[in-house]
Amino acid sequence: MRALVKPAAAPGVELREVPVPSPGPGEVLVKLQKTAICGTDLHIYQWDEWSQRTIEPPLVIGHEFVGTIAEIGVGVRGYEEGQRVSAEGHVVCGVCRNCRAGRPHLCPHTEGIGVNRDGGFAEYVVVPATNLWPIPDEIPSELAAFFDPFGNAAHCALQFDLVGEDVLITGAGPIGIIAAGIARHVGARHVVISDVNDYRLQLAADMGATRTVNVKNERLLDVLDELDIDGFDIGMEMSGNPQAFNDLLSAMYHGGKVALLGILPAGTGIDWDKVIFKGLEMHGIYGRRMYETWYKMTQMVLTGFPLHKALTHQIAIDDFETGFDLMARGQCGKVVCDWTGEIEPAA
């Protein structure tokens, strides 16, 4: 089969032939239809510091995908061949304290599909049956392909009650864009998102953000006066940028709540006075709540959430380099690669 492989400890990935994997007990083989490019895939492609300490080549990358069940391993119940599914990208141990307590998203032994084991940028992928998520017929495959990052946004946005609240999101990457839409969808009053990328800020506005702020051109704190508020009730840090994080803290209302999804650099400084004297509540967000987040995002799409507005490019898998280039330049929302041949490669 063809697969997108990280062949060695160096920048780049290659589309090459590899053996088709076989499902073991409790596993299924999924024939892929579409795979979305994640920021994690871009890190692996660029071979940055995180990748160098995390990835062990050779590795088939990719963890955002949708496909149909091609083969069912021994002991699997509740699924059938031909069924369309996506999958949770975190494989957990199932026996630790958190897994047994119904908090598997906090399993300390988590392995990532496409990070610690072969992933879904391939014609076939093997995943545990417990990680599968059935996709209703009403949801197009090009949207189901990026349910994984949709789940990051949903987990972060739904961490706190948003109804009637004023929300600030720092970072208009695809997850921040989707989170802006979720906040508006569930009833937030003002949804403000900041970034330095006008293309992605426009996507966030299309998704439902009520105010966008390019911090190269205007101060975030000036927006408080414009909106006639003393601060934001809910903050979501999705940029991984230390300055953006500290700007968010400065703009929070006393007693506000902050969800942290962006990965801040080691040694990031923070003005703890703003946290302590404002009485801020801060919560780290990792992955998705298994599987309540998957349920909620499925129902949001089925009841009209405009997830399609976050999808900007569909390309043939042979054009994967174009997709990674778009991601690196920030001139895209979600980029989905097609394995079915329905989309012709660029000439």
Tens digit of pLDDT for each residue in 320-333?
A: 999 999 999 999 99
Low-confidence stretches of the chain (pLDDT beneath 50): none
Q: Measured between alpha carbons, how far is 31 from 68 in angstroms, rounded to an integer?
A: 5
Helix (H) or strand (E) holding 313: strand 311-316
| Nearest to 227, CA basis, from 211, 207, 208, 215 | 211
Report the 3 state secondary structure along 233-267: EEEEECCCCHHHHHHHHHHEEEEEEEEECCCCCCC
Domains of the chain, earliest start first: 2-150+289-338 (3.90.180.10), 160-284 (3.40.50.720)
322 is catalytic: no
Catalytic one of 35, 40, 110, 293? 40
For residue 53, the model assigns a pLDDT of: 93
For residue 347, the model assigns a pLDDT of: 65
For residue 344, the model assigns a pLDDT of: 83
- Coil, helix or strand for 274? helix
For residue 269, the model assigns a pLDDT of: 92
Q: Measured between alpha carbons, how far is 54 from 50 in angstroms, rounded to an integer?
A: 6
Spell out the residues 6+ positions from residue 33 whose beta carbon is closer than 8 angstroms to its own. Answer: 65, 66, 67, 68, 84, 141, 145, 338, 339, 340
Backbone angles phi, psi at 89, to 5 degrees: -80, -5
pLDDT, tens digit (0-9, with 9 covering 90-100), for 37-70: 999 999 999 999 999 999 999 999 999 999 999 9
Backbone angles phi, psi at 333, to 5 degrees: -95, -115
Catalytic one of 35, 43, 110, 293? 43
Evaluated on CA atoms 205, 329, 121, 170, the torsion sign reads: negative
105 is catalytic: no
Question: 105 with 287: CB under 8 angstroms?
Answer: yes
